Structure 1
Amino acid sequence: MSQHANPIQTLLRDVPFMVIDGALATELEALGCDLGDSLWSARLLSEAPEKIRQVHQAYFEAGADCAITASYQATIPGFMQAGLTEAKARALITRSVTLACDARDAAWQPDSARPKPLVAASVGPYGAYLADGSEYRGGYDLDRAGLVDFHRERFALLLEAGADLLAAETLPSLDEALAISDLLAEHPGAQAWITFSAKDDAHISDGTPIAECARALAGRPGVAAIGVNCTALAHIAPLIEAIRQSCDLPVLVYPNSGEQYEPATKTWHPAACDHNGAPPNLVQGAAAWLAAGAAGIGGCCRTTPSDIAALAEYRQTLI
């Protein structure tokens, strides 16, 4: 991992905005993978790593500048609860980065005019390990020090594995973001973006104003960017504006597709008619999000390589 320059700012010297990849689980399910357990896509690091690599490569070939690894739900205690040894758990966390790097190397040529894409190692929230939906609520049973302890070992493993930076994503609380920044301070030169899940136009999932989060993280060593992910399309533009008014770091957004999730049946459905002016998809939201100050755009749940290809094609019109 680079231990000096902010890799996002370096990439942005060559492109109008960074194209982030889209949903991993959605594509794995499309390939016939069953993700119906608490490990979610992380289980495939052991059972079907070639499928994870295939999805990463599809996103790079669609034009993504950055892939997010399959380590969102990959934790040592989570793997051990599933019956794996500690050594195997550590190896699988490292493998998540290797798979993405291998896919990047297969899709990108060093003599290409295209900037070298990044690999961001996903650091999912404590709520992802709990697998109880609390990454969309917060209200954990751990305080900031406890969260530091929970994330510490995986954090170090991912830093050692060869990613360009970490992606601390879908965080529901400022405390957890501050815990990540505490860990960055333990690894001078390490870089991570921090993105929150948000419940409306101005607040992250636990109710903290996004502007307060941006102010709290601005200037902290190693925080490479701030933003939101796994959030409804309707909320993205005002959230960007609130962050930009509070700090000067790059703002990254990778919202959901616009479909609605039904928790009772665990199924997705087309969104009902939206009266809040939400864009119908990523590419139709991009112009407004860039105008609001976004530096990177991608997709979360239910987005696909075709969505990312459309973003990459849209970016070509800006060059």
Structure 2
Amino acid sequence: MNALKNIEIPATDRAGPSCAVTSRQDRSSRPSACTLDDVLTAKHPSNFRDALNAEGTGPIILDGGLGTHLADRGNDVTGELWSAQILMDRPDEVRAAHQDFFAAGAQVATTCSYQISRDGLEQAGSAGQFETMLRTSVALAKEAATDNAQDSARWVAASVGPYGAGPGAGTEYDGAYDLDAAELAQWHRERLAILAGTGADVIIFETVPSMAEVEALTLLAKDLELPAILSVNVRADERGQIVLGDGTDLRVAAKLVAESGVWAGVGVNCCPVPQAVAALRILGEETGLPLSAYPNSGETWDHEARVWVPGTEGNDLPSAVPELIAAGARLIGGCCQVSPEQITRVREAARAVAGN
């Protein structure tokens, strides 16, 4: 079954890829600050870059784990395409899942495009749906953003997953790709060009686990007209140091991000809360960029058994919001197993901090 043909993609989204180069001078100029009321009451679409860089305002609230919420809604996401299979077969469910997170207080919908790659779809016999699925993922999130929007600002983040979420077969947590930066840039280029022309507010590169992929995405991000955020996957090594999944010291990656001058923001996702806090402190020291954090629930995904297994204690995300804000987080949400209910608690915790 393929239900994508029933989704109307706005004409403006069919205009084709737009990856025009933005000058370094334009990127380095900071927008004027806006007030908290500006950020919370501006109608969609608002300028995401302005909101991200606004001084004296509370954090922007991201959504939670889209794939795991789709599963909670009764969808089978255990196949090789994960949530992308639901996008193909039941797009209304994807739209509804986005609506659930917005109703819970999220201000950003992260699109259901994380695992969409041409070769990944080829393995599943659906390569012909590649561009349609990418464009539909953004269209559904934009529809959800305008549903009962009232006066709260809402944005759509086009998700670009790592090589490991496609043909890398679950290596998004260790970066064991055996590919160099040039090869990874070539692999990412086509879908990034498509997503850049969909009218999304921001591109977010998620769960990036390797230095080679950080280098590749930095090369591609410099040609984007819209803001781009890099979200890496981290772990603590045997000495307790925060490193990328492939073992690279996070400070090394952070210095490349800072020196490139192309990123609108940087952060971490799909890691335990304590590691997210530690990583933000490093990223803040090294980059000076707006920071994002959307940890998981503390459980670990076993990609061979395709099940979640218990993780570490001390990972209640809403309880960690004050610590994340103190570490500099401008964007706060959740990753795998983080539900709409938890996002409501995250937003309440952020408001409590802002009121102090």
After TM superposition, is the score higher than 0.5?
Answer: yes
Matched letter for residue 308 of structure 1: I
Gap change, CA 1:228 and 1:185, over 3 Å in 2: same
Match of 1:45 in 2: 87
Question: Matched residue of 1:218: which SS?
Answer: helix
Matched, 1:62 2:104: yes
Is the 8 Å Cα contact of residues 94 and 161 (structure 1) preserved in structure 2?
Answer: yes
CA–CA separation in structure 1 for the residues paired with 2:175 and 2:311: 25
RMSD between aligned residues: 2.2
Is the 8 Å Cα contact of residues 270 and 296 (structure 2) preserved in structure 1?
Answer: yes
> 1:11 offset after TM fit, Å?
4.3
> 1:315 offset after TM fit, Å?
2.2
> Quick one: which of 114, 117, 134 aligns to 1:75?
117
Gap change, CA 1:254 and 1:8, over 3 Å in 2: farther
CA–CA separation in structure 2 for the residues paired with 1:160 and 1:264: 35
Gap change, CA 1:286 and 1:62, over 3 Å in 2: same
CA–CA separation in structure 2 for the residues paired with 1:85 and 1:206: 29
Match of 1:248 in 2: 288
Q: 1:93-133 CA distances to partner (integer Å, 9 max, x unpaired)?
A: 11010010100011313xx1x2x211110100001002522
Q: Which range moved further: 195-204 or 66-75?
A: 195-204
Match of 2:233 in 1: 197
Q: Report sequence identity in percent.
A: 35
> 1:258 offset after TM fit, Å?
2.1
Gap change, CA 1:150 and 1:131, over 3 Å in 2: closer
Is the 8 Å Cα contact of residues 293 and 333 (structure 2) preserved in structure 1?
Answer: yes
CA–CA separation in structure 2 for the residues paired with 1:206 and 1:270: 22
CA–CA separation in structure 2 for the residues paired with 1:63 and 1:147: 35
> 1:219 offset after TM fit, Å?
4.6
Match of 1:123 in 2: 160
Is the 8 Å Cα contact of residues 57 and 107 (structure 1) preserved in structure 2?
Answer: no
Matched, 1:21 2:56: no
> 1:192 offset after TM fit, Å?
1.0
Match of 1:286 in 2: 321
Matched letter for residue 196 of structure 1: V
CA–CA separation in structure 2 for the residues paired with 1:262 and 1:43: 19
> Quick one: which of 171, 182, 185 aligns to 1:134?
171
> Quick one: which of 247, 262, 265 aligns to 1:207?
247
Matched, 1:166 2:166: no
Question: Matched residue of 2:159: which SS?
Answer: strand
> 1:263 offset after TM fit, Å?
5.7
TM-score when normalising by structure 2: 0.81
CA–CA separation in structure 1 for the residues paired with 2:283 and 2:178: 28
> 1:148 offset after TM fit, Å?
0.8
CA–CA separation in structure 1 for the residues paired with 2:57 and 2:100: 20
Unpaired runs of 5+ in structure 1? Answer: none
Is the 8 Å Cα contact of residues 292 and 331 (structure 2) preserved in structure 1?
Answer: yes
Match of 2:140 in 1: 99
Q: Which range moved further: 2-11 or 252-261?
A: 2-11
Aligned residues: 308
Q: Which range moved further: 54-63 or 211-220?
A: 211-220
Match of 2:340 in 1: 305
Q: 1:196-228 CA distances to partner (integer Å, 9 max, x unpaired)?
A: 111115111011111211110115344111111
> 1:190 offset after TM fit, Å?
2.9
> 1:139 offset after TM fit, Å?
2.5
Match of 1:145 in 2: 182
Gap change, CA 1:162 and 1:264, over 3 Å in 2: closer
CA–CA separation in structure 1 for the residues paired with 2:176 and 2:305: 25
TM-score when normalising by structure 1: 0.90
Unpaired runs of 5+ in structure 2? Answer: 1-17, 32-46
Matched letter for residue 197 of structure 2: E
Gap change, CA 1:262 and 1:134, over 3 Å in 2: closer
CA–CA separation in structure 2 for the residues paired with 1:75 and 1:34: 20
Q: 1:235-277 CA distances to partner (integer Å, 9 max, x unpaired)?
A: 12211111111011011111111234456654335546x4xxx
